[in-house]
Structure 1
Amino acid sequence: MDVVRRAAAMFDELVVAVAVNPNKQGLFTVDERRGLLADTFADLPNVSTAAFSGLLVDWCREQGVGVIAKGLRSGTDYAYELPMAHMNRHLTGVDTVFLSASPEHTFVSSSLVKEVARGGGDVSAFLTTGVHAALQERLAGR
């Protein structure tokens, strides 16, 4: 949320792109994820969501997107993301802007939040009220 809000202040328009990956069984469908994102950022008129499959950079080219903004939590994220950013620029000319996570969020990942929530831990500090409610409801149904 922090990275999206900061990126939204930097760009006239920001699209939060949600990947469709048929090889992954997510906790929420792509449409549900987009809905949760739309609710979370409803106060930002320049933020919208879109779904894509395949390579992000191909979607960017098709949509006329010139910059990808990504958040980084650590040097490990940077080591993973930098070669991808170079390849994306090589393939299509799309640049990547990295925003460092706020220090209080560097340890947070969706996997960790889901694992703690599945174990009954309180993850409300890391989620909006709406996302937290949706997560609790989904986990209660499993």
Structure 2
Amino acid sequence: MRRAVFPGTFDPITLGHVDIVKRALPLFDEIIIGIGINADKKTMFSLEERIQFIEKAFENEPGITVKSYSGLTANFCKGENAQFIVRGLRNSIDFAYEQPIAQANAKVNGVDSVFLISSPEYSHISSSIVRDIARHGGDYQELIP
């Protein structure tokens, strides 16, 4: 069984995240959307809210599960018997950030990364932009599922 983890904070999940997961679905038997818990990171939405947002976005996709974790993503992958990490790349800055992490995960933990390039219509969307719009009372509904 080919199992992958799509890790992130998902604060909140965006249409860009949904696009990457839907495009990754044909590649894997199961995708675990792993919500990483980072005690140093202050989130806008609670863990429970983020889980609900994700479950609602993928309620008709049986190949997707949602779980939270703390610690290293590669350790979470091992615990879930996931051989792959899925990452979406919006631009070359994302690639430069993700490349050494992917290489370390492969070398040290035996977990390979699969990169999917963002669809052009979603490449401008990030959770931090959505949060900024929300904090200032703007309408961000067209950026989230």
TM beyond 0.5: yes
TM-score by length of 1: 0.86
Within a 5 Å distance, the mapping from 1:1-142 to structure 2 comes to: 1-128=18-145
Larger-gyration structure (1/2): 1
- CA shift for structure 1 position 62: 1.6
Q: Percent identity?
A: 37
Q: What one-letter code is carried by the residue in structure 2 that aligns with 1:109?
A: S
- Looking at secondary structure, tell me which structure has more strand per residue: 2
1:57-115 superposed Cα distances (whole Å, 9 cap, x missing partner): 01111221100111000000000000000000011110000001001111111111111
1:4-26 superposed Cα distances (whole Å, 9 cap, x missing partner): 11112221111000001111121
Residue pair 1:19, 1:30 contacting (<8 A) in 2 also: no
TM-score by length of 2: 0.84
Runs of at least 5 residues in structure 1 that lack an aligned partner in the other structure: 129-142
Higher relative contact order (CA 8 A, sep 6+): 2
Q: What one-letter code is carried by the residue in structure 2 that aligns with 1:70?
A: R
Q: Distance in 2 between matches of 1:42 and 1:33?
A: 14
- Looking at secondary structure, tell me which structure has more helix per residue: 1
Q: Distance in 1 between matches of 2:134 and 2:43?
A: 15
User: Across the two proteins, how many residue pairs are aligned to each other?
Assistant: 128
Q: Distance in 2 between matches of 1:3 and 1:42?
A: 16
